[in-house]
Amino acid sequence: MQAAHIGTEHESSSLLLNLPLSRSGRDTLKSQANRRTYVSLWLNRSTKATIHEFFCDHGFRTSVLSTGLHITIYQSDLVLPSVENAFESLEITVDTAETRFMTMTIGGIVKRDHLNPSDHRIGIRLTRRNQAIDAIDRIRRHYVEIERKHFSQDRKPSTLQKSSFGSPVYVPHVTLLKPDNGATADLTTLGTAFRERFAELAFHQLRVQVDR
């Protein structure tokens, strides 16, 4: 099984080591509803197509299939200094043996009798044993350190496994199905079939979006 890696040394350096300066060169942290920094890792098109085919084969309607299949690596309601919009080609491989299906809601990691998966978004989370975790942590650490260095508000900064914005616990995941999807209460059978169909998931692009 191919180990996770981030392109070549040259490809990874532009986002992880040599971020371009902001337009003004003097950005300060601003927290407003319409301002944010969002870093995400995207599946390649062929993998997305085969995932959609898998769910159609298992009786799911095309209207409930998520289209933008990605892992959020970092997000905040802050404009981080020296971070600009960017697209980076890379290669990170997720081994599905270390993924688990989950309901995308509070408490969705652990099966709860009162939660009906069909009413919520459904996706897969990566366990900390996944071969892609080191690469994801490396990228996330870069932005977490910028946030920590320039943080100026009364809240704890994000860490590798905790987020200061949004969900307090950071768990790498991919949303696969929209609500009203018709899934059964027990996702175990679906998860097992998914892991049998896909040994690996290939992610090919890192996107950095800064809304000022």
For residue 70, being part of any structural domain is answered with yes
Residue 3 forms part of a structural domain: no
User: Does 51 have pLDDT greater than 50?
Assistant: yes
Residue 7 lies in a domain: no
Average pLDDT of the segment spanning 144-171: 85
170 in any annotated domain:
yes
Specify whether the CB–CB gap between 119 and 180 falls below 8 A.
yes
Q: Using a pLDDT cut of 90, give the percent of the chain over it.
A: 64
Q: Cβ of 93: how many Cβ atoms within 10 Å? A: 18
Domain assignment present for residue 29? The answer is no
User: What is the rounded distance in angstroms from the CA atom of residue 33 to the CA atom of residue 182?
Assistant: 34
Specify if 10 maps to a domain.
no
Distance CA 147, CA 137 (A): 15
Q: Which domain holds residue 46?
A: 36-211
pLDDT band at residue 34, thresholds of 50, 70 and 90?
low
Amino acid 117: pLDDT: 92
Tell me, what's the pLDDT at 107? 59
Domain count, the chain: 1
Name the nearest CA neighbour of 4 among 176, 198, 201. Answer: 201
Domain presence at residue 16: no
Residues 89-130 have pLDDT tens digits of: 999 999 999 999 999 986 556 666 678 999 999 999 999 999
| pTM of the predicted model as reported, rounded to 2 decimal places | 0.82
CB atoms < 10 A from the CB of 149, how many?
10
Would the pLDDT of 181 be above 60? yes
What's the CATH code of the domain at 188? 3.90.1140
pLDDT at 105: 83
Has residue 15 been placed in a domain?
Answer: no
Task: Write out the two tokens for 56.
Answer: 């159609």
187 phi and psi, to 5 degrees? -90, 0
- State yes or no: pLDDT of 11 exceeds 90: no
